Amino acid sequence: MKILVTGGAGFIGSNFIFYMLKEHPEDSIICLDALTYAGNLSTLKPVLDDPRFRFVKADICDREKVYDLFESEKPDYVVHFAAESHVDRSIDDPGIFVKTNVLGTQVLIDACVKYGIKRFHHVSTDEVYGDLPLDRPDMFFVETLPLKASSPYSASKASSDLLVMSYHRTFGLDATLSRCSNNYGPYQFPEKMIPLMIANAMADKPLPVYGEGINVRDWLYVEDHCRAIDLILRKGRSGEVYNIGGHNEMRNIDIVKLICAELGKPESLITFVKDRKGHDMRYAIDPAKIHNELGWLPQTMFRDGIKKTIRWYLDNRSWWEEIVNGDYKEYYQKMYGNR
């Protein structure tokens, strides 16, 4: 099959491309990415010369370019990762989140309907459900819950979820949707919590933790997420939502302390800062549906995954240091500036 992956130069998208090319050598992939602040072409360096892979720089909101790409490449499937995804940035500038996450998604599904795509898979987030109380560990997010977004980011994702499902019902678009818990692993942009803490700890810089650090998240190693999406794409039921969770609930403060211990750094580096506006307290996913229907379960426990992640950042300092320094933006110009 030929798969169009949007946002493939980002964290989860790039890991998905690596996973698919490894697991399905008969498939080919086109990556569509605007290379905004979180998109890094150097991340895709291992596959840029692979004949099964093509990179296209374009904005999903650019209807003409998107339609031209569908016309020329004729993809069979679309996996849609491209999104503005950082909650703090959505509080500072909600408009770009609405534009990219809602209007950009509409452009893509319009193209899918127009060009008869076999399946559109929309990658969403557990944040669309709102949050859960800390004193109710028996409560989990299930697919039938109403959406209750807390931030402009999660509201824009909830809007795009509803839009995709409306196209399934109204236009007959073959669509599936997944909502995952917090991902971690290689190639995550350094402003996210885990890579930020790793990078700061390595440099003996303060480790900023919101509030008291008692917010709880369900953590999923990125390769487990990629495997789940692959299963949904090939075997999931059209029009269905699948929750993808790691059964790895951790308090933020405990993760930071674990990173300190793994790196041999003192906990005195931890600095508590003013809490985020509207900060959700707990996320926890029940992945029973994807397990029962498709046989998926996470294979990576958090303590194993965080060790692998820390080791990757130790072994790939140049990748994240270029981002921190802003040098990664020069990579695209070097690779494509004269083409």
Q: Is 153 a catalytic residue?
A: yes
Any idea how long the chain is?
Answer: 339
Instruction: Report the candidate in 217, 151, 150, 158 with the shortest Cα–Cα distance to residue 182.
Output: 217
Of 16, 36, 31, which Cα lies nearest the Cα of 86?
36
Strand order in the sheet with 241-244: 53-57, 28-33, 2-6, 77-80, 119-125, 175-180, 241-244
Alpha-carbon 299 to chain mean position: 18
**For the chain, what is the largest distance between any 2 Cα atoms, rounded to a whole number of angstroms?**
58
Rounded Cα–Cα distance for residues 262 and 256 (Å):
10
143 carries an active-site annotation: no
Residue pair 313/198 in contact (Cβ under 8 Å)? The answer is yes
Q: Is 50 a catalytic residue?
A: no
Catalytic residue among 84, 127, 223, 280: 127
Cα radius of gyration (the chain): 19
Residue 110: CB partners within 8 Å, gap ≥ 6? 63
How far, CA to CA in Å, does 115 sit from each of 111, 254, 287? 6, 48, 33
Print burial letters for 12-28: b (CB count within 10 Å at least 16), e (below 16).
Answer: bbbbbbbbbbeeeeeeb
* Cα–Cα dist 1/4, whole Å: 10
Q: Which of 126, 131, 223, 230 is catalytic?
A: 126
Identify the active-site residue in 129, 153, 242, 332. 153
DSSP helix/strand/coil, 116: coil
- The catalytic residue positions are 126-127, 153
